[in-house]
Amino acid sequence: MLATHFLDVLYLIAALAFVIGLKMLSHPDSARRGNILAAFGMGLAVLGTLFLHPSAESFSEDDRRLKLLLMYAALAVGGGIGWRVAYKVKMTAMPQMVSLFNGLGGGCAALLAVAELKLQYMEHGHPAASGLILVLFTLFFGSVSLTGSLLAFAKLEELVKDSSIVLPRHTLVNLGFLAVILSLIGYTVWGAGDNGLTWGLILFGITLLYGFSFVAPIGGADMPVVISVLNSCTGLTAAAAGIIYDNLIMLVGGLLVGASGSILTILMCKAMNRSLMNVLVGSFGGPAAGSASIAGDQTIKEISLTDTAVLLNYSSSVVIVPGYGLAVAQAQKICKDLDAMLEANGVDVKYAIHPVAGRMPGHMNVLLAEADVPYTKLFDLEEANEHLAKADVAIIIGANDVVNPAALDDPSSPIYGMPVLEVWHAKNVIVMKRSMKAGYAGIENPLFYHAKTKMLFGDAKDTLQKLVSEVKAM
């Protein structure tokens, strides 16, 4: 009994560590400490469960040793792989890592649900409907999170192409899957009788397929939203598993993940001026996306490195718009060097951050924090647009869709209505790109042909290094 009370205290400490750690993640200055604090809380909860959970008392000494040995081995192998992957991952691959880890969390919850389903039928013959619904709920969302996240990982890693996995009228296919799944849940709970375990396993297989099918038509610029949705699903499954096993820490941790994922999803949708349903069935940025041809003058104007250096150095205010191209080139530290050099010459430098820039929520914030860019220099959409209207130069480094004016003035564009960074209001616009290739959403950008725009082609890191040298030589 004493051990149980002590375990409850450990769970309470762990839950507080989760909440405080999550709060600390809201600011770059405290994010690292918050992550460590939350990890400490999880470690405390895991070790407390291993040594103090009442279920361990029902094992014989030999069984207890074997189970502890297996759990220690799992902790060592899983923890070692996780630490190694997290330590080695490049910033460009961070979205893939988030998707993969999130999917494994959902898969773990789904397997727990399968084990609990088997246990309930072995012990009760036909379990109570309320408990069975909760288990099947966990099974459903955990499976979708697992296979959906794996497909999101494959898309982000460019292991699969959208066009190769999308069926005609794929939205109807997904609706059909959902109807079958809901019917199977109802039949398993109220009509399957003693065969419920068999039907539950059939449901498990179909939900795994649905996870793939659910994510298949979603691509391009919607990927940050998909990651948030799947993250929320994983949190909900963990919370449901906490209810099944009467485990406080699983419940609290799952609710925190589910709630934060849901809030982030809402913020992402708001940033794109779209409903969640529109994101999930609209295939924005996927293979069906397209845009009307760009009318008017399509002549681009290039600018040399020397002219760019002169323009930046003799400006009073410069706004940098980072995008995924900056992450790919690993050029954030060179960008910070350019920032510092311009500041030393009296130029006011700010950063305009779009909520869905990059391939996961907060991608650009994390990227710039890694380069020690002060958080006070980063401005979100509305404030950034105010600064852009007063800027002498807006320099876009690897961004594309988030600076596309078609979002405001082309009703035929798939991104019409999406709030964007209005860089064209600056006195001068410089776009740094490797080529004229379309962005992640796969649509053309009229900004490249705007009267104020000049193109500076090349790899972002190499170009920024040369630009720093040019500014230094002045």
Residues acting as catalytic residues: 401
In eight-state DSSP terms, residue 452 is: T
Q: Is 237 buried (19+), middle (13-18) or exposed (0-12) by CB count in 10 A?
A: buried
Contact status, residue 196 vs residue 116, Cβ threshold 8 Å: no
d(CA 414, CA 295): 16
Left, alpha or beta for 193 (phi > 0: left; psi -120 to 50: alpha)? Answer: left
Contact status, residue 101 vs residue 227, Cβ threshold 8 Å: no
253: which 2 tokens?
């941790």
- Give the contacts of 102 (CB within 8 A, at least 6 positions apart): 145, 149, 227, 230, 231, 234
86: which 2 tokens?
């997290």
312: which 2 tokens?
């930046």
Residue-by-residue DSSP string for 74-89: HHHHHHHHHHHHHHH-
Q: Is 459 buried (19+), middle (13-18) or exposed (0-12) by CB count in 10 A?
A: middle
Residue 393's DSSP bridge partners are 318, 428
Q: How many CB atoms within 10 Å of residue 60?
A: 8
Q: With b meaning 16 or more CB within 10 Å and e meaning fewer, what string describes 85-122? A: eeeeeebbbbbbbbbbbbbbbbbbbbebbbebbeebbe
Cα-only R_g, the chain: 25
